[in-house]
């Protein structure tokens, strides 16, 4: 029997869990009152990922011996993993009733408190672990992490260093120490810790990300982009959010530090991820390429879905003026009986910043908003200012709309289009005779082109191009005013608020 137990233990140690389980089951069948064999069977099932079978074996062991510490602890742990925190706590406390120095039971209670963000309670429990065994690496690293989450960085660093001394090859302890030093503003020392962690595990993408952030905080753009690029390449799943963050970082580098450095990585990015629409758009913008005629829908949707939670605060910080400019200018031209109250379309309505202004001009809340970002529309919906909100590409909506409008507004929307001809043609289609089209555009002060993709990823346009494109679409400018639309990197961004009119039906027929 001892030989079989030894053989099963060897199989378990070698992660041959099926073979180990087969032997432990034979032993348990021959000794059905042996709680240890039941626990061992449960351990094999748990290791295989079969939580239900593991629970059955642990409960069977507890039925054989209600004071089985091993069964109680394993039940506590497995219920914790299943997010059944009440049962997990119940079994941990039962184990402590049998042995108040059971370090695993204290750890389980501490982990439960930590998951509930009750960090002070978690700290008390982790401290119990440390008091029982002052050499416990797990106690040290968890105390350090809990102090870190409480913002008590000096104490956190003390225990992180103790954990490193106790376990010098611990990647987690080095990363934690780096995070603590980073939070304290000691970037050079945090970089040293992250570098030491990377030496221990050079395939760890978390460390690459942390190094990138630390170098960014210390304004070392060369190393910041080096490690961000390594991180981008190392992460198995290249999400659009990851590409967006890289694009924003390149733009920040371009604006604040080095155009050449930003363009170097933009070229690499475009080459390696040429099939990604976000990389295509943002890299071409950094490279000042003129090959894009507009923003891809995937880029727009992903950008604004990510941007939605902070959208309004960010624009307030930029002193964003476009919605008010659209409203103030538009209402000057809505004095005839035709426009006492009107049916309005808000193109690219976003979170409803322009709609909040336009609602005063709409009859019976006949205000429709269209936007490509679901997340932005969710915020707009909560404001209750629109009669209808549509999740769609604005060109597709205009081409297929069953409605005709007296007013169509586009506040800071056309900046995501280069060639505006197809937009203007579709706007003209949806306007009633004498209807008004109110919009803003950013002025191209970069060169003499009709439109140009700026490093920010936004298009700017020349006033002469706007006039030609409107005219070719059957629309006539009746008002053109130059204003500061917003700030960007603390620099005023100039543009125009345009009111264009669709001719009366008789004039359309005569023309």
Decide which of 41, 65, 99 is a domain's last residue.
99
Q: Cα separation of 209 and 344, whole Å?
A: 46
- The pLDDT value recorded for residue 364 is 67
Q: Would you call 149 helix, strand, or coil by DSSP?
A: helix
| Backbone torsions φ then ψ of 441, nearest 5 degrees | -145, 150
Give the chain's radius of gyration (CA, Å).
32
SS3 content of the chain, % helix, strand, coil (to 5): 65, 15, 25
Q: Which helix (H) or strand (E) holds 53?
A: helix 51-64
DSSP, collapsed to helix, strand or coil, labels residue 477 as strand
- Check residue 126 and give its pLDDT: 97
Per-residue pLDDT, 283: 96
For 130-137, the CB contacts below 8 A with 24+ separation are 132/101, 132/103, 132/106, 133/103, 135/166, 136/103, 137/163, 137/166, 137/167, 137/170, 137/173
In this predicted model, what pLDDT tens digit does every residue of 274-283 receive, in sequence order? 999 999 999 9
Give the pLDDT of residue 307: 84
Smallest CA-to-CA distance from 17 within 38, 57, 45, 42 is with 45
How far is it, in rounded angstroms, from Cα 183 to Cα 177?
10
pLDDT computed for residue 506 by the predictor: 44
pLDDT for the residue 510: 47
Structure tokens at 240: 């659009």
Q: Helices (DSSP H) in 257-291: which residue ranges?
A: 259-272, 277-286
Round to the nearest angstrom and report the end-to-end CA distance of the chain.
Answer: 103
Could you tell me if residue 174 is inside a domain?
Answer: no
The predicted structure's pLDDT at residue 98: 94
Give the whole-number percent of the chain exceeding pLDDT 70. Answer: 96
Q: Does position 270 have pLDDT exceeding 50, yes or no?
A: yes
Cross-strand partners of 499: 438, 479
Dihedral over alpha carbons 212, 199, 185, 217 (to 10 degrees): -10
Q: What is the mean pLDDT of residues 375-384?
A: 95
Residue 129 has pLDDT above 80, yes or no: yes
DSSP secondary structure code for residue 499 in this structure? E
pLDDT of 292: 86
Q: Across residues 441-465, what is the average pLDDT? A: 94
If pLDDT is split at 50, 70 and 90, which confidence band does 402 have?
Answer: confident
pLDDT over 60 (residue 159): yes
CA distances from 244 to 198, 278, 283, 371 (A): 25, 7, 11, 19
Contact by Cβ (8 Å): 213, 178: no
At 326-341, the pLDDT tens digits run: 999 998 888 654 555 6
How long is the chain?
511
Q: Which of 99, 115, 130 is the last residue of a domain?
A: 99
Q: Which 3 state secondary structure label does DSSP give 388?
A: strand
Across 458-463, average pLDDT: 96
What is the chain's mean pLDDT, rounded?
A: 92
Mean pLDDT value across residues 260-265? 96
Task: Please list, residue by residue across 295-310, b when 16 or more beta carbons sit within 10 angstroms of its beta carbon and e when fewer do.
Answer: bebebbbbbbbbbbee
pLDDT at 487: 86
User: What are the tens digits of pLDDT across the range 339-373?
Assistant: 556 889 999 999 999 999 998 888 766 899 999 99
In a domain, 172, yes or no: no
Number of structural domains in the chain: 2
Instruction: List the domain range (segments joined by +) for residue 327.
Output: 310-510
CA–CA separation, 389 and 71 (whole Å): 56
**pLDDT tens-digit readout, 195-245:** 999 999 998 999 999 999 999 999 999 999 999 999 999 998 888 889 999
| Helix pair 35-48, 69-81: axis angle to 10 deg | 20
Phi-psi region of 49 (alpha: psi -120 to 50; beta: other; left: phi over 0): left
Q: Is residue 246 part of a domain?
A: no
**Domain containing residue 49: CATH number:** 1.25.40.10
- Two structure tokens written together for 341: 């109250």
pTM here? 0.81
* Mean pLDDT (whole number) for 240-258: 92
Check: CB of residue 40 under 8 Å from CB of residue 56.
no
Q: What's the pLDDT score for residue 93?
A: 96
The beta strand positions in 136-289, using DSSP E, are: none
Phi, psi of 493 (to 5 degrees): -105, 115
Q: What contacts 24+ positions apart, CB below 8 Å, involve 329-332?
A: 329/438, 329/479, 329/481, 329/497, 329/499, 330/358, 330/361, 330/407, 330/409, 330/436, 330/438, 330/499, 331/361, 332/479
* Residue 297 CB partners (closer than 8 Å, separation 6+): 372, 393
Share of the chain above pLDDT 90, in %: 81
Amino acid 191: pLDDT: 97
Structural domain contains residue 137: no
> Could you give the dihedral angle defined by the CA atoms of residues 87, 93, 99 and 102, in that order, rounded to the nearest 10 degrees?
70
Q: What is the pLDDT of residue 62?
A: 94
Whole-number Å distance between alpha carbons of 30 and 24: 10
Residue 487 in domain? yes
| DSSP SS3 for 102 | coil
In a domain, 448, yes or no: yes
Residue 205: inside a domain: no
* Higher-confidence position of 461 and 366: 461
Q: List, for residues 16-49, the tens digit of each pLDDT value.
A: 999 999 999 999 999 999 999 999 999 999 999 9
Going by C-alpha positions, the residue among 334, 293, 315 that lies closest to residue 438 is 334
Among 72, 99, 126, where does a domain finish? 99
Mean pLDDT in residue range 132-139: 96
Contact 241, 299 (CB under 8 A): no
The pLDDT tens digits for 419-436 are 999 999 999 999 999 999
Query: Which of the 8 DSSP states describes residue 14?
Result: T
Please report where in the chains the tokens 């990363």 appear, as a residue: 175
Q: How confident is the model at residue 177 (pLDDT cuts 50, 70, 90)?
A: very high
Among 504, 418, 432, smallest CA distance to 461 is for 418
Average pLDDT over residues 95-100: 95
Residue 162: phi and psi, rounded to 5, are -60, -40
At a CB cut-off of 8 Å and minimum separation 6, what does 340 contact? Answer: 334, 363
């Amino acid at each position: 029997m001892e030989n079989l137990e030894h053989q099963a233990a060897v199989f378990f140690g070698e992660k041959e869990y099926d073979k180990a389980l087969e032997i432990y089951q034979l032993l348990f069948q021959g000794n059905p009152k042996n709680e240890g064999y039941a626990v061992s069977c449960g351990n094999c099932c748990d290791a295989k990922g079969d939580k239900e079978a593991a629970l059955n074996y642990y409960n069977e062991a507890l039925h054989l011996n209600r004071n089985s510490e091993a069964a109680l602890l394993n039940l506590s742990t497995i219920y914790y993993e299943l997010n059944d925190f009440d049962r997990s706590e119940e079994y941990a406390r039962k184990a402590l009733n049998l042995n108040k120095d059971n370090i695993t039971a204290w750890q389980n209670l501490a982990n439960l408190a930590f998951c509930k963000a009750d960090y002070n309670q978690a700290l008390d429990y982790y401290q119990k672990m440390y008091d029982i065994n002052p050499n416990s690496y797990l106690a040290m690293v968890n105390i350090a992490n809990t102090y870190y989450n409480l913002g008590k960085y000096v104490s956190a660093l003390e225990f992180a260093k103790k954990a490193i001394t106790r376990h010098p090859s611990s990647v987690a302890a080095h990363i934690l120490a780096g995070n603590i030093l980073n939070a304290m503003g000691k970037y050079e020392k945090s970089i040293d810790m992250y570098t030491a962690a990377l030496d221990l595990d050079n395939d760890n993408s978390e460390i690459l990300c942390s190094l990138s952030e630390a170098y960014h905080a210390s304004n070392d753009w060369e190393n910041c982009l080096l490690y961000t690029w390594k991180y981008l390449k190392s992460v198995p799943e290249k999400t659009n959010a990851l590409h967006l963050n890289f694009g924003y970082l390149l733009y920040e580098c371009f604006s604040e530090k080095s155009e050449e450095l930003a363009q170097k990585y933009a070229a690499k990015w475009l080459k390696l991820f040429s099939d990604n629409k976000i990389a295509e758009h943002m890299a071409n913008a950094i490279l000042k390429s003129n090959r894009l005629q507009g923003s891809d829908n995937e880029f727009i949707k992903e950008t604004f879905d990510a941007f939605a939670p902070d959208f309004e605060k960010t624009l307030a910080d930029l002193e964003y003026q476009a919605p008010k400019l659209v409203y103030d200018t538009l209402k000057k031209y809505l004095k005839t009986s035709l426009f006492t109250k009107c049916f309005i379309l808000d193109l690219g309505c976003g979170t409803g910043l322009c709609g909040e202004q336009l609602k005063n001009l709409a009859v019976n809340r006949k205000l429709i908003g269209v936007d490509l970002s679901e997340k932005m529309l969710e915020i707009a919906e909560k404001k209750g200012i629109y009669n209808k909100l549509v999740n769609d590409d604005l060109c597709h909506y205009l081409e297929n709309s069953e409605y005709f409008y007296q007013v169509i507004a586009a506040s800071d929307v056309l900046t995501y289009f280069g060639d505006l001809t197809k937009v203007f043609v579709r706007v003209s289609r949806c306007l009633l005779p004498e209807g008004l089209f109110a919009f803003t555009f950013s002025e191209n002060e970069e060169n003499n082109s009709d439109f140009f993709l700026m490093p920010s990823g936004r298009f700017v346009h020349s006033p002469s191009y706007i006039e030609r494109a409107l005219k070719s679409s059957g629309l006539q400018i009746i008002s053109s005013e130059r204003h500061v639309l917003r700030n960007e990197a603390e620099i005023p961004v100039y543009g125009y608020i345009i009111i264009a009119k669709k001719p009366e039906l008789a004039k359309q027929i005569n023309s």
